[in-house]
Amino acid sequence: MKTIWIPREVLTWDMEVDSSTVFDDNESLRSYEIWEHSKNLISSHTSEFQLVDSIANLKRSLNQRLQLIEKRYNLKSINYRNKPKGYLELLEQYNVVRPFLMRILLSIRNEIEHNDMRPPDLNRCQELLDVTWYFLRSTDHIIRNQIDKLVISMPREQDKKGNYWINLDIDFGVPVSLKVNCWLPDEFVSQTKKNDFLRVDAVEFRQFDNKNIYRDRLSADVNVRGKMILDADDLFTLVKKTLSMY
């Protein structure tokens, strides 16, 4: 295996989804089942205790969805700079959710549980019910479909023929694993470490000059296959861009 280095700027190139994994819908439906139970408690309530139970179940619905997101993506394992402690805040930094209203739900639930606060009135409970539903809807896409391959292309102003690209396979395990297969111009590939370059542990590193096979290539173009190794900040940047593509 040979370690090579490619410019960090490739993370700013144009990215497109090449393929994704579709998950069984049963797990994603669980949050809606809990939400539906809360809805029934609110609509048929005859006492404040049913409203209390409805708030508790909205929190359960929220927690189930947050746990499923983490199960799919292992975002907690990426220890980038200024990473927040709260999971809603973490998702906010990845541009997955806007958590303000969900924090209100959690605050109300905590006040009820720890300080025996009375539940909100019926209108407020119905608002929280709607807020939770919109949260579930806004995160359905990332738990039902998981992007597992990207095509990263050099911008057209730099590469008018579209010769240079990176196929990137993403495995959201612990740690996140990135496999690359790319064509790059030779000046984009270094065999020594440089500032603002990314590490690739290459299992294949080839230059071609056979015009009969590679008619669209320059003699010094380089094909690299291997595993890209990113530090936590670069990995955060890549995962954030990926999650924004749903």
pLDDT in tens, 157-193: 988 777 899 999 999 999 999 999 999 998 999 999 9
pTM of the model: 0.90
**Which of the 8 DSSP states describes residue 84?**
-
**Mean per-residue pLDDT of the chain:** 91
Which comes out higher in pLDDT, residue 7 or 212?
A: 7
List, in order, residues 6 or more apart from 97 with CB less than 8 Å away. 88, 91, 135, 138, 139
Q: Residue 44: pLDDT above 90?
A: yes
Cα–Cα dist 25/142, whole Å? 12
Q: What is the pLDDT of residue 93?
A: 94
Rounded distance between C-alpha atoms, residue 168 and residue 147, angstroms: 11
Q: What is the pLDDT of residue 57?
A: 95
pLDDT for the residue 67? 96
Q: What is the mean pLDDT of residues 7-16?
A: 95
List the structure tokens of 206.
């080839």
pLDDT per residue as tens digits for the range 187-223? 999 999 999 999 999 888 776 655 555 556 777 788 8
Do 192 and 181 form a contact (C-beta atoms < 8 A)? no
Q: Report how far residue 2's alpha carbon sits from residue 5's, in angstroms, rounded to the nearest whole number.
A: 10
- Positions of E strands within the chain: 2-7, 14-22, 145-153, 165-171, 177-184, 197-207, 222-229
Least confident of 8-12, 104-108, 136-140: 104-108
Rounded to whole angstroms, how far apart are CA atoms 110 and 116? Answer: 9
DSSP bridge partners of 242: none
Query: By percentage, how much of the chain surpasses pLDDT 70?
Result: 95
Q: Given 3-state DSSP classes, what are the helix, strand and coil percentages for the chain, each rounded to the nearest 5?
A: 45, 25, 30
